[in-house]
Amino acid sequence: MSEALRAHRLVVLTIVAVLVAVAAGTVVLASAGATDATRRDGVLGPGKVTVRIDVDHSRFEVTPIRVRPHTEVTFVVVNHDPIGHELIVGGPDVQARHANGHEAYHPPVPGEVSVPAEGRASTTYVFHAPGPVEYACHLPRHYEYGMHGIVEVVADAQER
């Protein structure tokens, strides 16, 4: 067998081995993902889930959040800014109370947390009824700057 033919076989066998390894890894990852509270459609829950929200340059950096009713979300907020922020999760009445308030610090309350400069904090909130639920930072001018978003609570009929 010529040296060129051996080299060609070695390349083909290496490619086949890599493809088999990648396929096996994909099957393992797909199986692992099926056991947590996230389905392939990207909707979280029901049950307990964790969502990480990074804050950088006074912006929430997070992919769209979609949950099923009766999902308990632990929000882990990682603040990369040299200033403090807050995360307030709740309906219009909660948001209005904080928009008009002047609380510099939030003691541990479900759905409300103060996040120190270059620090991290977490809060837990349980979503029940389908529809949008806002999260925001109401420190002076932060909301107006764009520090707010929506958690979409999706009923099973809306997923399709």
Please check the confidence at residue 69 and state whether its pLDDT lies above 80.
Answer: yes
Q: What is residue 157's predicted lDDT score, i.e. its pLDDT?
A: 59
Q: What is residue 18's predicted lDDT score, i.e. its pLDDT?
A: 40
In this prediction, residue 30 has a pLDDT band, given cuts at 50, 70 and 90, of very low
Summarize the confidence of residues 16-44 as an average pLDDT. Answer: 46
Find out whether the peptide bond into 46 is cis, omega within 30 degrees of 0: yes
Summarize the confidence of residues 38-47 as an average pLDDT. Answer: 81
Summarize the confidence of residues 43-69 as an average pLDDT. Answer: 95
Please check the confidence at residue 160 and state whether its pLDDT lies above 70.
Answer: no
Mean pLDDT of the chain: 80
Encode burial over 90-117: b for 16+ CB neighbours within 10 A, e otherwise: beeebbeebeeeeeeebeeeebbbbbee
In this prediction, residue 105 has a pLDDT band, given cuts at 50, 70 and 90, of confident
Q: What is residue 7's predicted lDDT score, i.e. its pLDDT?
A: 55
Least confident range from 66-70, 102-106, 155-159: namely 155-159
Strand partners of residue 109: 112
Q: Which of 94, 92, 58 is nearest to 77 (CA)?
A: 58
Please check the confidence at residue 92 and state whether its pLDDT lies above 70.
Answer: yes
Summarize the confidence of residues 84-105 as an average pLDDT. Answer: 88
